[in-house]
Amino acid sequence: MGDERPIEDILDTIGDDHARDVLAAISEEPRPASEVADACDLSLPTVYRRIEMLKEHKLVSSETAVADDGNHYDVFKSNFDGTVIRLRDDEYDVRIYRKENIPDRFSSLWDELSR
Q: Is the pLDDT at 82 greater than 90, yes or no?
A: no
pLDDT at 106: 57
Q: Is the pTM above the cut of 0.75?
A: no
Residue 23 maps to a domain: yes
Q: Can you list the positions of beta strands (E) in the chain?
A: 31-32, 60-66, 72-78, 80-88, 91-98
Residue 47 has pLDDT above 90, yes or no: yes
- Residue 26 falls within a domain, yes or no? yes
Residue 23 identity: L
Residue 2 pLDDT greater than 70, yes or no: no
The whole domain housing 59 covers: 7-113
Residue 24 domain-assigned? yes
| Interatomic CA distance for residues 42 and 75, integer angstroms | 17
CB of 51 closer than 8 Å to CB of 76: yes
Q: How many domains does the chain contain in total? A: 1
CATH number, domain with residue 91: 1.10.10.10
CB 31 within 8 A of CB 25: yes
The answer to the question of residue 1 being in a domain is no
Q: Is residue 42 part of a domain?
A: yes
